[in-house]
Amino acid sequence: MTSNVIRSDEDQVKKDMDNMYRWTRHVYDLTRKYYLLGRDDLIANLDAKDGENICEVGCGTSRNLIKIAKKYPKANIYGLDASDEMLKTANKNVEIAALTGKLNLKQAYSQSFDPKALFGLDQPLDKIVFSYALSIIPPWKESIDHALELLPAGGEIHIVDFGSQDDLPKPFSKFVFWWLRLFHVYHKPEILEYLVSLETAGKGSLEVTHMYKKYAYRAVFRKV
């Protein structure tokens, strides 16, 4: 795939995301808190050390980043999102939280972002977070691969996303998956399958925790 084709694809993603979030960004946090379960579990288990560089891919309204910054005040916190519209809300929330200058947010794409160019980093990212992002990102595999390329040995990818919901009543899970598809969000069992294959290939170690009767899962992939 040529760079021009990639650029065209990314431009279309940005257009689609801006259209989706132009109005819904105003009520995003109010509505999502009821079904984006496990985000606070991810933050609690992030265990960010002083001076570490933490980046959330698909940071949305900056809800997670604000919580991360408050829990780990000596870590360096960054975020990116494909949508400029969503970043308007994100930056406003950062201002309200009195964290302007502490959180650095940029428009970029999960499969191609350059931390040095975006944030002026001299050191690599230590941890990359995907919170209910891979289920909406079409190039999810490329995004995972890119994150691994960016991380040093010992660096970690932290993921929370929709699980199989096998232990929940079938009518409930069927409704949830139907409703999510209306917003172009999909349960992707192939994500965990791919992470397992990366572990098998010796790329790193994987820890998976299923939560809320498999409504969601939390995964940590540690690069060797």
User: Would you identify the CATH topology of the domain 3-223?
Assistant: Rossmann fold (3.40.50)
pLDDT value at residue 4: 47
CB atoms within 10 A of CB 106: 16
**56-66 tens-digit pLDDT:** 999 999 999 99
CB atoms within 10 A of CB 38: 22
Closest CA to 58 of 35, 28, 26, 34: 28
Q: What's this model's pTM, rounded to 2 decimal places? A: 0.87
**35-46 tens-digit pLDDT:** 789 999 999 999
Distance between CA atoms of residues 222 and 38, nearest Å: 19
Closest CA to 209 of 198, 200, 195, 201: 195
pLDDT band at 3 (very low <50, low <70, confident <90, very high): very low
Q: Average pLDDT of the chain?
A: 89
- Is pLDDT above 70 for 151? yes
Strands (DSSP E) contained in 98-215 are 103-107, 127-131, 156-162, 204-211
Residue whose tokens read 């931390």: 115
Sheet holding 103-107, edge to edge: 103-107, 76-81, 53-57, 127-131, 156-162, 216-223, 204-211
Q: Can you give the residue ranges of every domain in the chain?
A: 3-223
pLDDT value at residue 20: 58
Both tokens of 31, joined, read 């509505």
